[in-house]
Amino acid sequence: MYMEVIVKVAETCNLNCTYCYYFNSTNNDFQEKKKLIGKSTLSELSLFLARESIERKIKILQLDIHGGEPLLMSKNLLDDFLGDVKKTIDASTELKVALQTNGVLIDDDWIDVFSKHNVCVSISLDGSADEHDKFRLDKKGKGSYHAAIAGLGRLQRASLAGRILPNGIICVVNGNFDGEKIYNHFVKELGVKYIHYLLPECNHDVVVANQVKNIEKFIIETLHAWLNDGIGKVKVQMFETALGKLMRKRNAIYEYIGFTVRSDGAINPPDDLRNVFPSLFHSDFNVKTNSVNDFIEREDISILYGELSSIPEACKDCAFVNVCRGGQVFGQPENRFSTRNGLNNKSVYCEVYKALYVELCKYLYGRGIGWERIEKNLQ
Ligand code: SF4
């Protein structure tokens, strides 16, 4: 089994990004939570992970150290927690640690912690200062681009020196921006090698005309810039996933479970669903007293997990259903939501995914892969 745990070590932030899904959206439950996770909760969490790793025979345990801004927590606490987890989980469980940060607080002492525990760090960056500073603001309303870039530089130098794993960036797509310009800024000017594009949080209740069309344009511009660079030079998660599916690249298959642990130890569903299913984020389950089974066996949570892994009715006749699964292969299940049907909808970004697959099919055909093979791989 592959178990992914989003650990909310900070339910507070040093920035105030205007589009933030956590602090500037509809679910304000962070107001009832501790701002920073405490030592006793981390101790309970490491015991919980140890129990689960043994009882569920977990092959891979992925911890996503998350916030708010995770680097607001004490370095010593994270250092001790990761050391404890490594010591107490089952000897046959592989531990992977990822950390998502706005980059502003990265210093040499943090790099030491990342180095000691093999933490794979990703920085949120939405483009050059022109784009990034429109939305990613500090508490005084000033752009955070230059501080984020300073953090990125520290990570890159540490990675080049072989001290830490290669880092990546996460870019929230804005359909009003130029995808090619932003890609070139990341790759040619900043030397970024791993990019994860996130489509804006959206659902069928709120999607506005042109939003999807503009995002499609952004993604296709970016795709062409990436293809022009030559596949393999830069890892773009969305494109590699789609291409891998079209080429039937086989990855190891594990049973998967993902959930969130809040700063008070509460066990919640995957974090990206917090604004569409707010009531499911008021659970009484806690790592101190409960198991994963207690959580996933509650009726409403069990229904949610069933919906997450089901193919939406509206996708069943789609030519790309086996490589897209209603957008499941790209994550972001919140983009399937409507009040009427829950998650039983295609993604609001369906047209973006179709355009992406069509362009990639054309690319493969242009590289000598016959239509019969492409068609077969789609089945
Ligand atoms: S989301 Fe769209 S592209 Fe994906 S499977 Fe559903 S209908 Fe097909």
Q: What is the CATH number of the domain that holds 126?
A: 3.20.20.70
Q: Is the CB of 321 under 6 A from ligand 1?
A: yes
pLDDT of residue 37: 98
| Residue 37, burial from CB neighbour count under 10 angstroms (0-12, 13-18, 19+) | buried
Mean pLDDT for the stretch of residues 284-306? 96
Q: Is the CB of 354 under 6 A from ligand 1?
A: yes
Which tokens sit at 346? Answer: 């295609």
Q: Contact at 8 Å (CB) between 124 and 148?
A: yes
Q: Is the CB of 335 under 6 A from ligand 1?
A: no
**High-pLDDT (> 70) share of the chain, %:** 99
Q: Is the CB of 346 under 6 A from ligand 1?
A: yes
Q: Give the whole-angstrom CA distance, residue 221 versus residue 265.
A: 42
> How remote is the CA of residue 345 from the centroid of ligand 1, in Å?
9
Nearest ligand 1 atom to alpha carbon 347: 1
Mean pLDDT for the stretch of residues 281-309? 95
Q: Is the CB of 347 under 6 A from ligand 1?
A: yes
Structural domains counted in the chain = 1
Mean pLDDT for the stretch of residues 358-370? 95
pLDDT of residue 208: 84
Q: pLDDT-based confidence at 130, cuts 50/70/90?
A: very high
pLDDT of residue 93: 97
Q: Within a domain: residue 270?
A: no
Q: Within a domain: residue 292?
A: no
Q: Give the whole-angstrom CA distance, residue 113 versus residue 110.
A: 5
**High-pLDDT (> 90) share of the chain, %:** 93
> How remote is the CA of residue 56 from the centroid of ligand 1, in Å?
33
Which tokens sit at 117? Answer: 């525990």
Q: pLDDT-based confidence at 362, cuts 50/70/90?
A: very high
Q: pLDDT-based confidence at 137, cuts 50/70/90?
A: very high
Longest CA pairwise span in the chain (Å): 59
Q: Within a domain: residue 286?
A: no
Which tokens sit at 272? Answer: 């990206």
* DSSP H or E segment with residue 301: helix 299-308
Q: Give the whole-angstrom CA distance, residue 169 versus residue 197.
A: 8
Residue whose CA is at the smallest distance from ligand 1 atom 4? 326
| DSSP track, 312-344 | PGGGTT-TTHHHHGGGGGG--GGGG-BTTTBT-
Residue whose CA is at the smallest distance from ligand 1 atom 2? 350
Q: Contact at 8 Å (CB) between 14 and 139?
A: yes
SS3 of 274, please?
A: coil
Q: Each residue of 334-343: b (16+ CB within 10 Å) or e?
A: bbbbbeeeeb
pLDDT of residue 253: 72
Mean pLDDT for the stretch of residues 79-88? 98
Q: Within a domain: residue 311?
A: no
pLDDT of residue 340: 97
> How remote is the CA of residue 206 from the centroid of ligand 1, in Å?
19
Strand duo 194-198 + 267-268: pairing? unpaired
Q: pLDDT-based confidence at 289, cuts 50/70/90?
A: very high
Mean pLDDT for the stretch of residues 283-295? 95
What confidence tens digit (pLDDT) does each residue in 202-253 have?
Answer: 999 998 889 999 999 999 999 999 999 998 899 999 999 999 999 987 666 7
Q: pLDDT-based confidence at 162, cuts 50/70/90?
A: very high
Mean pLDDT for the stretch of residues 76-80? 98
For a mutational test of ligand 1's pocket, the pick from 321, 344, 357, i.e. the residue with the most ligand atoms closer than 8 A to its C-beta, is 321
Angle between helices 108-116 and 75-88 (to 10 degrees): 0
Q: Give the whole-angstrom CA distance, residue 38 versus residue 56.
A: 26
Q: Give the whole-angstrom CA distance, residue 257 versus residue 2.
A: 6
Instruction: State which residues form the domain around 241.
Output: 2-246
Q: pLDDT-based confidence at 254, cuts 50/70/90?
A: confident
- In the numeric block, the tokens 């489509």 are attached to 199
> How remote is the CA of residue 321 from the centroid of ligand 1, in Å?
6
Q: Is the CB of 318 under 6 A from ligand 1?
A: yes
Average pLDDT, the chain: 96
Q: Within a domain: residue 140?
A: yes
pLDDT of residue 337: 97
pLDDT of residue 54: 96
Beta bridge partners of 268: 260
Q: Is the CB of 353 under 6 A from ligand 1?
A: yes
What's 140's DSSP letter?
T
Beta bridge partners of 122: 100, 168
pLDDT of residue 364: 95
Q: Is the CB of 349 under 6 A from ligand 1?
A: no
pLDDT of residue 284: 86
Q: Within a domain: residue 86?
A: yes
Q: Would you say residue 90 has pLDDT above 80?
A: yes
Helices (H), ranges, 15-171 = 39-55, 75-88, 108-116, 129-135, 145-160
Q: pLDDT-based confidence at 18, cuts 50/70/90?
A: very high
Q: Within a domain: residue 296?
A: no
Radius of gyration, alpha carbons of the chain: 21
Q: Give the whole-angstrom CA distance, residue 153 versus residue 186.
A: 12
Mean pLDDT for the stretch of residues 100-113? 98
For a mutational test of ligand 1's pocket, the pick from 215, 241, 246, 324, i.e. the residue with the most ligand atoms closer than 8 A to its C-beta, is 324
Q: Give the whole-angstrom CA distance, residue 76 versus residue 113.
A: 9
Q: Within a domain: residue 312?
A: no
Q: Would you say residue 299 has pLDDT above 80?
A: yes
Angle between helices 371-378 and 237-246 (to 10 degrees): 100
Which tokens sit at 224? Answer: 């062409």
